[in-house]
Structure 1
């Protein structure tokens, strides 16, 4: 009976058009879970649909209604092939873009764009292709390119520059160290948490500011800061 009900969901690739009646409303939590695991086993083709299903469960609090503490706890137990960060990525993209846009640009490309838009205070447009991205270059210049012509690395580099530029008034030796801290924090928290790192100078003293570090990730923060301290400043000046 359960298999027949899932098979009755029409056009899985085109399912859940924004504003349309959701075929997921006819499925139970466990049936959605089984469908998600089935799609995961077929590779990366259905990232958008997985994001829509994840959002459906979260928004309707289906896991909580079934007696679980949260949707995250439920998925951790029953959709083990996908990490929480992956599910959150799929969900964020599916919440902001339609399936055709996800197919055109890719989920991780669009997730990078969402981070950039958040850093610049902009909102996601229906067609993200023309969105201007200020991409920093190795010679410290900035080239503005449309999102459609940017790689994921371009967008992520632009986001880091928008969020945590090394202030020009910070002493040169401190600038080098700040670059190492910024890079280490990004590498350690990528896909884990949106940690914001800034710096400023007050009366000749360089101050660093951190925001968005989950309490459970303090050991990761310590590791990232230690890595930044151990890096050789001479490399940053090259």
Structure 2
């Protein structure tokens, strides 16, 4: 599984340009330098990380699959499915995901982790944060324009707001994904039945086509934020 720790520098004389040992650029032991030349694979990796940091909140800048804590069998199963989705590049085939569960179960964190992985694999990513990007109709239009340029779009907190015009925006996104084989990653507190019933019939039908049953992933109900608070409380003892 991938990691995003800073690679250690080693002797570049033992590495040939034609025998790069890295399966992924983030594992490069020479910080991208091979025979005194900066590796293009590593350069593209740095660009992808920079782009990810532009679209992701700072709190998610260091997310990875390896530092996501699976405290239950539900989360472990969910994480394995997500890694399968990313590593097998199902996102390139227009297949999407729904991540659902209770508050604080890691839906948004995993959504951004998926985007980070895809970005480093060359995918073009975009985000619609329903809570923040859909404050006004005009703000939603601007966010929509940016997101629709992407190959993979994260719709975070779908269902958190219920303005009448939001359904129209979600319909535009699903139609675009359907026509151009783009992938949607949706995080929501709603269970699948509630989510489908909250959408227009056309949008619900599109999502049924874009997201297979195996890609509807439950993350449980355990709130990680409670554990974080308990960790901070220990600092006061």
Verify same fold: TM over 0.5: no
Q: Which has the larger radius of gyration?
A: 1
TM-score (norm 1): 0.29
Higher helix share: 1
TM-score (norm 2): 0.29
Structure number with higher relative contact order (C-alpha < 8 Å, ≥ 6 residues apart): 2
